[in-house]
Amino acid sequence: MSRVHDALRRAEQTGVISPPTAKPSGEARAVAAAVLDANAGLAGLLEQVEEVPFRTATDSLLIDVSRPHEAPMEEFRTLRTRLNHMKSLQPIHSVVVTSPSPAEGKSLSAANLSLAQAHLAGNTTLLADFDFRRPIVHTLFGIDRSPGITDYLLGKIPLQKAMRKVAGTNLYIMPAGEAVINPLELLNLSEVKLLIDQLPSLFNWIILDSPPLLFAADASLLSTLCHGTLLVVRIGHTTIDSVTRAMQSLCNNNVLGIVANGARRGELYSKYTYYHSYYTPKDQGDDAEEAQSAAPQAGPE
């Protein structure tokens, strides 16, 4: 194909053929009009999304953006900052969050990263549950699993019906949807690529939760459709061999980084006590004081 382009370029330079005129053909104008209509339709789509209250289970371990000085929130803000810096250097909008094996915290990491991103003013973020095998995002946020992504891909609902907007935030959620027999076959549909390609026109960040790499090919396929992949590992659980095999299973070499999950609470708090031990927000009361007194005092870093 490059030889054809080179030949056309040389022919144009020598005057054998003329460059395309500025005036578009009727067909080109029709295509441009269709694109404009589609973009206009997408622009109004988010206004039709159902809004749901922000309610989570008490044991969900989701970060609390109203308590920004807690160590877990600091960690995900650090991850957010690094991703946003990468985005300033290269076009990154969609990220697959996966892990080598189950029970390593990928879904929780995807949810907390989405909350951290959505906490920035104007940073509209979508958390999409593409783990059709064992979805959990809907449980974390206390919403229904269906209608969701699978319902949309099967043509049962329009796109806006597959989303929920978390009230008072910039966060949108696409739950997995109804259970399907063959998740990988559904992910191979052209509609999946079209959907992921369209979403950056609506959201600053699209974060996809996916099945573990060593137990299904879903994450590897999704990584080829997205701009980057985050690999979540669990301290004391994930082995070096499983990380190596997981990296090798990816079709694209687009790993943005590895998230180490499962650090003990005391280890995290000790990093921030020096800076925040004398700051007690009025709405935290005894809980904040208890957390500060339990954390070991750290010296200057």
With respect to residue 247, please indicate whether it lies within any of the assigned structural domains: yes
The CA-based angle 186-190-192, given to 5 degrees, is: 60
Render pLDDT for 28-80 as a digit per residue (tens, 0 to 9).
Answer: 444 334 433 444 456 688 889 999 998 776 667 887 766 666 667 888 889 99
With respect to residue 185, please indicate whether it lies within any of the assigned structural domains: yes
Render pLDDT for 135-172 as a digit per residue (tens, 0 to 9).
Answer: 999 999 999 999 999 999 999 999 999 999 999 899 99
Reported pTM: 0.75
Strands (E) across 132-185 are located at 164-166, 171-174
CATH of the domain at 254: 3.40.50.300
Phi, psi dihedrals of residue 190, rounded to the nearest 5°: -65, -25
DSSP, collapsed to helix, strand or coil, labels residue 64 as coil
Of 195, 191, 245, 257, the residue nearest 220 (C-alpha): 245
With respect to residue 190, please indicate whether it lies within any of the assigned structural domains: yes
- How far apart CA 60 and CA 136 sit, in angstroms, is 11
CB-CB contact of 73 with 62 (8 Å)? no
Task: Answer with the residue of higher pLDDT: 137 or 279.
Answer: 137
With respect to residue 209, please indicate whether it lies within any of the assigned structural domains: yes
Q: What is the pLDDT of residue 184?
A: 94
Burial class (CB in 10 A: 0-12, 13-18, 19+), 56: middle
pLDDT band at 264 (very low <50, low <70, confident <90, very high): low
Q: What is the DSSP letter of 296?
A: P
Residue 180, domain extent: 43-263
Answer yes or no: is pLDDT of 287 > 50: no
Give the residue carrying structure tokens 């990988």: 184
With respect to residue 112, please indicate whether it lies within any of the assigned structural domains: yes
State how many domains the chain has: 1
Q: What is the DSSP letter of 251?
A: S
With respect to residue 287, please indicate whether it lies within any of the assigned structural domains: no
Answer yes or no: is pLDDT of 292 > 50: no
With respect to residue 293, please indicate whether it lies within any of the assigned structural domains: no
Of 121, 108, 123, 124, the residue nearest 76 (C-alpha): 108
The CA-based angle 189-195-201, given to 5 degrees, is: 160
- How far apart CA 88 and CA 82 sit, in angstroms, is 10
With respect to residue 232, please indicate whether it lies within any of the assigned structural domains: yes
- Please list the residues that pair with 12 across neighbouring strands: none
